[in-house]
Amino acid sequence: MKKINIGLFGFGCVGSGLYKVLEESNNLDAKITRIVAKNPNKQRESTTIPISYNSREILEDESINVVVELINDSGEAYAIIKEALQRKKHVVTANKKVLAENLAELITLAKENGVSLLYEAAVAGSIPIIRNLEEYYNNDLLTTIEGILNGTTNYILTKSNAGITYSEALQEAQDKGFAESDPTLDVDGFDSIYKLTILLKHAFGAVVAPSELLTVGIRNLKKQEVKFVKEKGFRIKLIAKAFVIENKLFAYLAPHIIESSHAAYNVDNEFNAVLVQAAYADKQLFYGKGAGSFPTASAVLSDISALRYDYAYEYRKTNSEIRNLSQNLLLKVYIGSENVNTLSEFEFNEIEDLYIGKNYSYQIGFIKLEDLLKVNWNKRNDLSLLIFSENKLPNHTQKKTISNLNLLSNKTLSS
Ligand code: HSE
């Protein structure tokens, strides 16, 4: 592409970051020629580019060949991305929700119109994970991709570990510009699951709807779990995971209990990390800032820069044999509850530990992923689910519930 004329939608945290970063990147033949923002009454830093409030001014401007979409409203963002592609403009976006929910359609649209749709900033902020999955892991040797994909929740978990309350930590994350405008998307895990959905396409060629995947956020974690984990020298991290066993693909998101040997153990605050495992290469860790104005803008800048040589994702895994998602797996979990009777709702294949107290009980053991999917964990504030790293394909071991166990023969403690 000769010259890059950018129409920028959104002048918030990331949009204004991009503006500054581009101003300082003199050797890039790219400039923002128009900005469209949402709120005319918002106090903004002054720019040399006039800000307008009418999307037609970018979409109908034929001199603009690249649309950078960085707005909050996902309905509006979807319409902008779609029209821009139809008008044969390249699109760079950080909108994970729009991408995750409409990936197949938008990829087709970009292809039909002969333009690029790039979105490195949509997953793990500044970490160049999509480009690496596309270019380096361009074969079927990948077996696992897992990581911390949300800066806000990692910030909250880090601060909770240091004794700061959940609401104070969330407020700090909002003040620093990490959180979504609706922070429910962060704390209930939706932001992470959108990102995992996008990674599934690039890592394994799988197109899944985010709603198919187990999504458990951090809202209902209790002080008892934080204490349990701390006492054992473990940590809680909100981990998104996708892996292949015997040609079946598994993927889910939940708070995990991890040991100090886990690559994500020391990934704190707004940092993200993506651990990739592949045959021959073994483990590789990508680490960097997952949220914030400049780190996210840097990923957007990299996409803009890639357009200089007409870069487009090739989706090389599309015909991979490993494309089908399965939920037939046993996961080792910790389920905590304020009411011990609730625990008997769950059918465990193996129980490793059981604690029964007056106001809080927990059970650790293996349970089917399919069964975990039947519970709306984010809405059940009496329950919490944490997952360990161990999992296995089901065999025919005897199913157990608390009610068919002889409780007296187990470790039964009172609080
Ligand atoms: N709210 C997101 C996060 C922003 O906290 O990670 C980056 O996608």
Q: What is the pLDDT of residue 213?
A: 98
Residue nearest to atom 4 of ligand 1 (CA): 291
DSSP lists the bridge partners of residue 199 as none
Q: Cα separation of 241 and 227, whole Å? A: 24
Domain membership flag for residue 298: yes
- Do 135 and 275 lie in one domain? The reply is yes
Residue 313: alpha-carbon gap to chain centroid? 20
Residue 343: phi, psi to the nearest 5?
A: -65, -30
CA dihedral 194, 195, 196, 202 (to 10 degrees): 120
Tell me the average pLDDT across 376-403.
83
Domain membership flag for residue 16: yes
Q: Cα separation of 40 and 114, whole Å? A: 34
- Do 263 and 374 lie in one domain? The reply is no
253 close to 232: Cβ distance less than 8 angstroms: no
Pairing relation of β-strands 348-356 and 361-368? antiparallel
Q: Is 302 helix (H, G, I), strand (E, B) or coil?
A: helix
**Domain boundary pick from 90, 118, 146:** 118
Q: Is 351 helix (H, G, I), strand (E, B) or coil?
A: strand
Written as six digits, the tokens of 3 are: 């010259």
Domain membership flag for residue 64: yes
* Residue of 154, 176, 178, 300 to test ligand 1 pocket, by largest number of atoms within 8 Å of CB: 178
Tell me the average pLDDT across 259-284.
96
pLDDT, one tens digit per residue, over 26-42 is 788 899 999 999 988 88
Written as six digits, the tokens of 298 are: 């840097």
Which range, of 128-132, 326-330, 405-409, averages the lowest pLDDT? 405-409
Q: Cα separation of 36 and 50, whole Å? A: 9
- Do 138 and 275 lie in one domain? The reply is yes
- Do 59 and 102 lie in one domain? The reply is yes
Q: In what order do the strands lie in the sheet with 66-69?
A: 51-52, 30-36, 4-9, 66-69, 90-93, 117-118
- Could you give the angle at which helices 223-231 and 151-161 cross, rounded to 10 degrees? 70
Residue nearest to atom 7 of ligand 1 (CA): 291
Domain membership flag for residue 324: no
Going by pLDDT thresholds of 50, 70 and 90, the confidence category of residue 401 is low
Alpha helices in 217-292 (DSSP H): 223-231
Q: What is the pLDDT of residue 220?
A: 95
Distance between Cα 355 and ligand 1 center (Å): 36
Q: Cα separation of 195 and 124, whole Å? A: 8
Q: Residues enclosing ligand 1, CB less than 6 A?
A: 125, 150-152, 178-180, 186, 191, 290-291
Asked whether the predicted pLDDT for residue 397 surpasses 80, the reply is: no
356 φ/ψ sector (left φ>0, alpha ψ -120 to 50, else beta): beta
- Do 138 and 263 lie in one domain? The reply is yes
CATH of the domain at 215: 3.30.360.10
Pairing relation of β-strands 248-258 and 235-245? antiparallel
Q: What is the pLDDT of residue 412?
A: 37
Asked whether the predicted pLDDT for residue 86 surpasses 60, the reply is: yes
| CA neighbor of 373 nearest in space, from 313, 325, 316 | 325
| CA neighbor of 145 nearest in space, from 263, 303, 261 | 263
Written as six digits, the tokens of 284 are: 């590789």
Asked whether the predicted pLDDT for residue 183 surpasses 60, the reply is: yes
313 φ/ψ sector (left φ>0, alpha ψ -120 to 50, else beta): beta
Q: Cα separation of 69 and 96, whole Å? A: 11
Q: How high does pLDDT run on average in the chain?
A: 93
Closest atom, ligand 1, to C-alpha of 153: 5
Instruction: Name every residue whose Cβ is closer than 8 Å to that of residue 336 and which is 6 or more positions away in sequence.
Output: 222, 224, 225, 360, 361, 362, 383, 384, 386
Domain membership flag for residue 197: yes
DSSP lists the bridge partners of residue 366 as 332, 350
289 has catalytic annotation: no
- Could you give the angle at which helices 13-24 and 293-306 cross, rounded to 10 degrees? 60
Domain membership flag for residue 124: no
Q: How many residues does the chain have?
A: 415
Domain housing 387: 330-410
Q: What's the structural domain count of the chain? A: 3
Instruction: Name every residue whose Cβ is closer than 8 Å to that of residue 75 and which is 6 or more positions away in sequence.
Output: none
Place of tokens 């809080």: 360
- Do 16 and 151 lie in one domain? The reply is no
* Residue of 18, 186, 196 to test ligand 1 pocket, by largest number of atoms within 8 Å of CB: 186
Tell me the average pLDDT across 122-150.
95
CATH of the domain at 344: 3.30.70
Domain membership flag for residue 274: yes
Domain membership flag for residue 325: no
Among residues 96, 97, 159, 195, the one annotated as catalytic is 195
Tell me the average pLDDT across 275-280.
94
Distance between Cα 97 and ligand 1 center (Å): 11
Distance between Cα 35 and ligand 1 center (Å): 23
**Domain boundary pick from 118, 153, 182:** 118
Whether the CA torsion 262, 263, 269, 274 is positive or negative: it is negative
CATH of the domain at 10: 3.40.50.720
Q: What share of the chain is helix, strand, coil (3-state, %, to 5)?
A: 35, 25, 40
- Do 86 and 145 lie in one domain? The reply is no
Q: What is the pLDDT of residue 406?
A: 39
**Domain boundary pick from 64, 97, 118:** 118
Going by pLDDT thresholds of 50, 70 and 90, the confidence category of residue 225 is very high
